[in-house]
Amino acid sequence: MGQTIVEKILSRTSRRKVRPGETIFAEPDLIVMYGWPGISDKLFTIVEEELNIKRLATAEKIVMFIDHMVPPSSIKDAEFLKCTRRYAKQYGIQLIEMEGIGHHVIIETGIVKPGMFTVHFDTHIPTIGVIGAFGLPLALDVLEALVSGEIWLEVPHSTRFLLNGKLPRGVMGRDLIH
């Protein structure tokens, strides 16, 4: 059998043919972030204070969203978003504010394209598979991509499901997956 789309994407981004279960270094095409307390601020604190990094080699590959805490519901939230804007400006990161939820915006605006490898610290990033891209949720491990430009991962195995019949009325595809 030939490679799956994920294997093809990871082969391109690791610059060699990959196989499921193999551990590789791959270079994401896009790093997606959003301003979220306890995650984005922690990542930038590590970059600034622990690693003393002044410039991110991956800045042109990063897009950051202010999309969840808008409008801010407290002064604390407003201050946090102010810091998010500062990080974006300081590191030369593209910042998109109040254009919608980032997971949708990257698809709707063409920021992510079919065949791209995208990482995010959020678990919703695999939704980009709908356009033939590979989205990998990394939690705080996205720091590896921010700092080095690549990540270490195991090539995932794929499972093929063949379904026969018809879903009962009111049952949707998402119900089936869950």
114-155 pLDDT, tens digit each: 999 999 988 888 999 999 999 999 887 888 888 888 999 999
- Please provide the CATH number assigned to the domain covering 5-177: 3.30.499.10
Whole-structure pTM value: 0.85
Residue 115, pLDDT score: 97
Domain segments of the chain as ranges: 5-177
Residue 128, pLDDT score: 93
Written in H, E and C, the secondary structure of the chain is: CCCCHHHHHHHHHHCCCCCCCCEEEECCCEEEEECCCCCHHHHHHHHHHHCCCCCCCCHHHEEEEECCCCCCCCHHHHHHHHHHHHHHHHHCCEEEECCCCHHHHHHHCCCCCCCCEEEECCCCHHHHHHHCCEEEECHHHHHHHHHHCCEEEECCCCCCCCCCCCCCCCCCHHHHHC
Residue 94, pLDDT score: 95
Residue 89, pLDDT score: 93
Residue 109, pLDDT score: 94
Residue 159, pLDDT score: 86
Residue 129, pLDDT score: 92
Ranges of residues in the chain with a pLDDT under 50 are none
Residue 107, pLDDT score: 95
